[in-house]
Chain A
Amino acid sequence: MCYIFCTNLDAVINKNTKFDIIVVGGGHGGIEAAVSASKLGMDVLLVTLDVHATGRMSCNPAIGGIAKSRVVREVDAMGGLMSQAADSTGIQFRVLNRKKGPAVQATRSQNERSEYEFEINRLLIAHKRITIIQGNIVEIIIESNYIAGVILENGDEFQCSAVILATGTFLGGKIYIGHNIYDKGRIGESADCKLSQSLENAGLSLLRFKTGTPPRILRSSIDFSATKIQLGEEDYFPFSLNNEVVLPVSQQECCFITWTNEKTHRVVQENLKNSALYGGMITGIGPRYCPSIETKIVKFPGHNKHIVFIEPEGRESVEMYPNGISNSLPEEIQLKMLHTIPGLENAEITVPGYAVEYDVVEPTQISHSLMSKSISGLFFAGQIMGTSGYEEAAGLGLLAGINAANWICKRESIIFTRDKSYIGVMIDDLVVSGVDEPYRLLTGRSEFRLLLREDNAWLSVFETLPHDILEAISGDRYYIMLQWYKSLNQVREFIFSRSIKSREADELGVAQGTLLKDYCNRPEARWEKLSRMYAEIACLPARPSSTLLTEFKYEGYINRQLRDAEKINKLHTLKIPVDMNYKEIGLRREAVDKFEKAQPKDIAHASKIPGITPSDLTSLVSAINKLFHMKHST
């Protein structure tokens, strides 16, 4: 009953080998975690409930989008699999917000669902240090606050130095379709993960979240003539930086747009009591930015229509995915509702929509390295930390893999500051402020979003990670970045030093003698012109070029954010002693409780704890100063 992909079969059968890291969960987070750790020399055991479902897209068949596309590119620069699989299995590409500025521009792909899964697995099993088994982990073994191993449902025990939990919606997962409830984390699969009790026994407190997905529809039952067609685009950069090939529009699939109407809303209204969400069965908190159709109708009674995107599940797939109408209504009501929507009058459901409820570990119990604050060696990634989304999971998984390996090897953790990475912003938000709904990245999450663009994701990663680690995890991609980095600096220097000569002035529309840099600062600056005119510039590949041009165009704004970031990063240098006694520094009770619970590392973290006021911080800073002087005067 145990499916195994591995080279060290002995280890699994005889259980005589201690793995470095055990990853629990084979989704987008678990896979990136296993791969990044294995690249850093770790022997990894990946335990999944269903070895045939590793890398599966549970919800919409798409990767990227606002803020998330930058995460995919950060993952890519760190050698992740998601970007590669998204590129090679993409069937439509679009660039959102193309005309609204580089900081909000975002690439998104529609993907062939089954192929994506296949591709991820192909990339995954190429890593020989990863052993994959099917099993349900029911207990984590802790010895004097250190993780020591795991116990499977069948009684098997495995020892390890670190565990990465990436259980997704499977931890205490419950699926709701109307009044029917099933103990599982995804439809069509066998079981839920029964680890919750063990985590609570270990002193971790859990939250309950909810998410949902729409029904899948038989493609042949849809009347596409009643819908609006949405085409793809070919002017985009593939997600992976070692992939230059774009998919021509002629080879791309279309999406289709339709709208709900008052009839649809009446069906939902009349059946709210049968909806798991509104019938009182679900207590978990759902995401505001991804509301179910029931929520949309209840919250916005004045709206007479809601948009529905009908997305292909694949080129040859018999199914379509109606994005925007996730629900937990009984199947027959789902059908009745669909039949009110133009184009879906005769729709047939292949898989019903459903809501899923699952357990989340309250993320304020986790440190910035993604390791538990109380149990050494226990790491987390993805929905178990309160996030939602494939990209968020992949980013956290990748970092958890690196940091688990770093912890085992006694190297310093990789922690991105908020001005360097959306993964860093996400981790900081989660572990400092906690969550009260599934957390999704949005550009507005980052106060330094002008610095966090799709075009410079590679550069931020390149400048943050130690090069030995980056080389180990990124492989070929590291050498590309190294090359880009060098040429980018050369071209930047050229632009700074060169002034425009008379014969060039007309073509660029500026006065002779103007610095080339000043031309680049203008909103109308065009890179194509520059690379046509100067061989020194033409040598720079397209992607680092777009990084550089944005740097110049946004120079003033970027510099301002860099200065702001520097101020915040200075607050990070005001470290709070580990043995700080918050009770004795004249703080109010509430602040003491909050600081004690959050254990902030420095004043920057302390300042972001919800409910902490400037005066609390003043007291804290003066207490730190006092301690500092006391130490240095004795």
Chain B
Amino acid sequence: MSIVSILGALLILIGLWGMLTQTNIIKIIIGFSILDTGIHLIIVSIGYISGRTAPILDRAVSQADALRRVVDPIPSALVLTAIVIGLAITALMLVYAVRMHKSRGSLNINDYEDLKW
């Protein structure tokens, strides 16, 4: 349990709460973004080793002592992927919001009851 991962979990819960309680579609999308960020924080915190530096070899970190000096590169790579996909999903959701607003002129989720049962 590191501080960063606890904060990440907190962000996940806040995002989930926002997605569940808000009725404005834009706010729901913001909730999704917060949840996404929380997940990124948790993944990054898994790979972090305290006191070490970024996994990039240069004059400061030579190849010989890289094993003792760098953090885990795999979670960083996974988060890089996750950020880009989060961006794509957010863009798509916002475009859906634009379309919904065009069709009925409202951003309140309660005005869209077609799929409600």
> Is the A/B pair a real complex?
no
Name B's A-contacting residues (CB within 8 A): none
